[in-house]
Amino acid sequence: MIVGAGIVGTYLGAITGDMKIWESKRKLEEKACSGLLSVTGLKQLKLPYKEAIVNEVKGAEIYSENYSFTVKKRSTQAFVLDRYILQKQTLQMAEDNGCRILWNKKWDGEDDTYIIGADGALSKVAESMGIKRRYIFAYQIKAEYKTDSELVKIFLSKRYAPGFFAWIIPEDEKTSRIGIGVKEGNLRNALFEFLSYKGIKIKHIKKEEAGLIPIYEDKKMVNDNKALIGDAAVQVKATTGGGIIFACKAAHILKDAINRNDLKYYETEFKSKYGRDLEMHLKIRKMLNRVDYDALLKKLIKNNVPEIIEKYGDMDHPRKLVKQILMKPALWPLIRYVI
């Protein structure tokens, strides 16, 4: 039994086949999501993402209060996806492979051969395993805003986004997804304070949405016949909050574990393959939470780090990039923050 008919739950059902998928909602609904996924990550999976593409991104502009730099490659680095369309496609793929979606079906401790918790950040399955989470609270609007459609904008500031960041993700040259992540406070106010502070003028707001981003922690993913995946397992990059790529990679390992009749294999294999990447994302996040952003960007620009990012940057797997950056003696002081 899979609990949760989101992208991750239905993707697991699709590649495994013949699974019951319980969903507490009455029908397919949209979920808050930036929808920015790496091209490299997507091409490694069987996600039916092509119909969901709304834009192609080649790089990013990174801002602190007084400094900024741009990293951009010639080829597309990430797709901006319509999450609702992607979820609709994975749900159809699951049904085509023999899965039964049971809508308006809340899991309340019912047993089965396996209980797979794909039920998101507020997972009932994780709760039944005694697991508690910490969260970043996110708020995003879709609005008319003119920008370079090939570049994502990332804003680092302790003033309006302590512990996370604000973002502008273009859908095209006239429409963008604009959001912010905070640890506490009024989400909507935080977003509009950010817009006001940066002098960002938007026109018609087409959509507003809020969501939870679980903060990555190396906790158990398996207990007896229960296994967690996706946000329920906090398979989330602490740097950006993105988790679909890692979760879908986890689905393939979990499928093998089910076939082996050994859920412990799933936890061991996932942490062996991807645990170090998620830990590195967490170390980078902790470093970002401690440093002065202006001082950091000034040092990175002075030492030509944007060029290194252009060459070695990977949205999902940052270890190679970190090693290249730390080969520059002027940046060795950062070691005490990252390692």
pLDDT of the chain along its 339 residues, tens only? 999 999 999 999 999 999 999 999 998 887 778 899 999 999 999 999 999 999 999 999 999 999 999 999 999 999 999 999 999 999 999 999 999 999 999 999 999 999 999 999 999 999 999 999 999 999 999 999 999 999 999 999 999 998 999 999 999 999 999 999 998 888 999 999 999 999 999 989 999 999 999 999 888 999 999 999 999 999 999 999 999 999 999 999 999 999 999 999 999 999 999 999 999 999 989 989 989 999 999 989 988 888 888 888 878 888 878 777 777 777 766 655 555
Chain-centre distance of CA 142, in angstroms? 18
Taking the mean position of all CA atoms in its chain, how far away is CA 203?
27
Tokens 């990012």 locate to 309
Question: Which one-letter amino acid corresponds to residue 89?
Answer: Q
- The strand pair at 222-223 and 226-228 is best described as antiparallel
Residues linked to residue 209 through DSSP beta bridges, in sequence order: 140
> In DSSP terms, which residues pair with 264 in a beta bridge?
none
Token duo for residue 50:
């092509």
Sheet holding 151-155, edge to edge: 68-72, 59-63, 151-155, 166-170, 175-182, 135-144, 205-214
> What's the pTM?
0.92
Q: Which domains does the chain have, with CATH numbers?
A: 2-282 (3.50.50.60), 283-338 (no CATH)
* 88-92: Cβ within 8 A, 24+ apart: 88/28, 89/47, 89/48, 89/49, 89/51, 89/52, 90/7, 90/10, 90/11, 90/14, 90/47, 90/48, 91/5, 91/10, 91/28, 92/48
